[in-house]
A = this chain, B = another copy of it.
């Protein structure tokens, strides 16, 4: 069975808005064993929408519409699908009454246009929308194929607001689709790695995952991170889980410590967990990352047990004040130097009384300084210091890209350096 998702709304044909419901719907359909073969985005235009509906009904088995179920003149999904199927709409009295009562409660007269939210495709089941006013619709029907043989078609109409769409799909459509589709037992695994080129991961893992022809492997390159997703279906849940686990273990043996997470946890969460297990505390002194490293860590709930805080030492004066970096060191080597990275890490650890201190200093750009002790140093040059009271390591990086990329990668290197140190 293949599916088509049709997102309805002129705003999604502007440069400002994108259909995002289809990502959620695709994940949900995939879990039911249904692949999405087409996605169509169409505006609030009756002719365009009804022709897109007719095309989808010919080429897909399951067609999910999102949007266009509201009360305005622009909301045309009901009418267009009816036209595409050659069906009529009837006004459902119970839904009409419920709509009228909603307005009565608010003591407003219901505009006549709102009545059309009670219009139902002949043969369809109304899907009650608890969080919004437009109900969804489910139609399990058949159309004639080229030789007159019947083709089963499941047509689903869902409201556009993501929370309403999700609630209706989960509550009303998933159980109905499960009942119609053959049963499936699915298992997934996710391995995450930081700062490794995608081509390296693929070269090392392809010889392994290609042998698992029954497991779908997807490599995704994200922000300074590579993810390996495994997906399989088997006659039993146990068999499915065992199979993805088997592959994940072989990949873990190959990639070793490059894998920071084998259960989907983020790098920040892994670092938090490791600090917690070792009962250690962390503080940071950030220059070029300007608070990004602290921000990423504090995005995790309950990190306050292990993250004390830190300083955004943007000026030289603050490097001295908050992280005890000697003024002479700043003058001699410049703020962007291994010496200052080391002093920041040592200094913030001592000032804040933490187990580990991290210092980040670098040039995020856009311009290279022309005066002072850092004159001529290249954009993208970053030093990270890590101090644990016994030893202080310093890492030098030359990061490509723009300011945003340099700052993010610097924070990622700092987290990854900390993770490897704690391992």
Question: Are A218 and B14 closer than 8 Å at their CB atoms?
Answer: yes
Number of copies: 2
Q: Determine if A295 is an interface residue (Cβ-Cβ < 8 Å).
A: yes
Question: Are A321 and B291 closer than 8 Å at their CB atoms?
Answer: no
- Which B-chain residue is minimally distant from A287 (CB atoms)? B309
Question: Are A13 and B40 closer than 8 Å at their CB atoms?
Answer: no
Q: Determine if A345 is an interface residue (Cβ-Cβ < 8 Å).
A: no
Number of interface residues of A (CB under 8 A): 69
- Cα A295 to Cα B298 in complex, Å, equals 12
Interchain CB contact (< 8 A) of A26 among B13, B38, B304, B407: B13
Question: Are B41 and A13 closer than 8 Å at their CB atoms?
Answer: no
Partner-binding segment picked from A16-24, A83-91, A108-116, A238-246: A16-24
Partner-binding segment picked from A44-52, A95-103, A152-160: A44-52
- Cα A183 to Cα B134 in complex, Å, equals 43
State the Cβ distance, A345 to closest chain B Cβ, in Å: 16
Interchain CB contact (< 8 A) of A312 among B218, B310, B366: B310
Beta-carbon contacts under 8 Å, A347-398 to B: 351-353, 365-367
State the Cβ distance, A299 to closest chain B Cβ, in Å: 7
- Cα A366 to Cα B323 in complex, Å, equals 31
Q: Determine if A265 is an interface residue (Cβ-Cβ < 8 Å).
A: no
Beta-carbon contacts under 8 Å, A334-354 to B: 351-353
- Which B-chain residue is minimally distant from A411 (CB atoms)? B295
State the Cβ distance, A310 to closest chain B Cβ, in Å: 5
Interchain CB contact (< 8 A) of A15 among B23, B303, B309, B404: B23
Partner-binding segment picked from A29-37, A74-82, A119-127: A29-37
Question: Are B311 and A312 closer than 8 Å at their CB atoms?
Answer: yes
Question: Are B14 and A26 closer than 8 Å at their CB atoms?
Answer: yes
- Which B-chain residue is minimally distant from A352 (CB atoms)? B318
Q: Determine if A27 is an interface residue (Cβ-Cβ < 8 Å).
A: yes
- Cα A15 to Cα B39 in complex, Å, equals 12
Q: Determine if A301 is an interface residue (Cβ-Cβ < 8 Å).
A: yes
Residues of the B chain whose Cβ atoms lie less than 8 Å from the Cβ of A295: 289-292, 294-295
Q: Determine if A317 is an interface residue (Cβ-Cβ < 8 Å).
A: yes
Beta-carbon contacts under 8 Å, A215-271 to B: 218, 220, 229
A and B contact pairs by CB, cutoff 8 A, 27 listed:
A11-B218, A13-B38, A14-B26, A14-B30, A16-B220, A18-B18, A39-B40, A39-B41, A40-B40, A55-B55, A290-B295, A290-B299, A291-B298, A291-B310, A292-B295, A298-B312, A298-B314, A299-B403, A299-B404, A299-B407, A301-B367, A308-B317, A309-B315, A310-B318, A311-B311, A311-B312, A321-B351
Which A residues lie at the B interface, using CB under 8 A? 11-18, 20, 23-24, 26-27, 30, 35-43, 45, 48, 51-52, 55, 59, 218, 220, 229, 284, 286, 289-295, 297-299, 301, 303-304, 307-315, 317-318, 321-322, 351-353, 365-367, 403-404, 407
7 additional contacts (CB under 8 A) given A12-B39, A15-B23, A301-B403: A39-B40, A40-B41, A286-B291, A291-B294, A291-B312, A308-B318, A317-B352
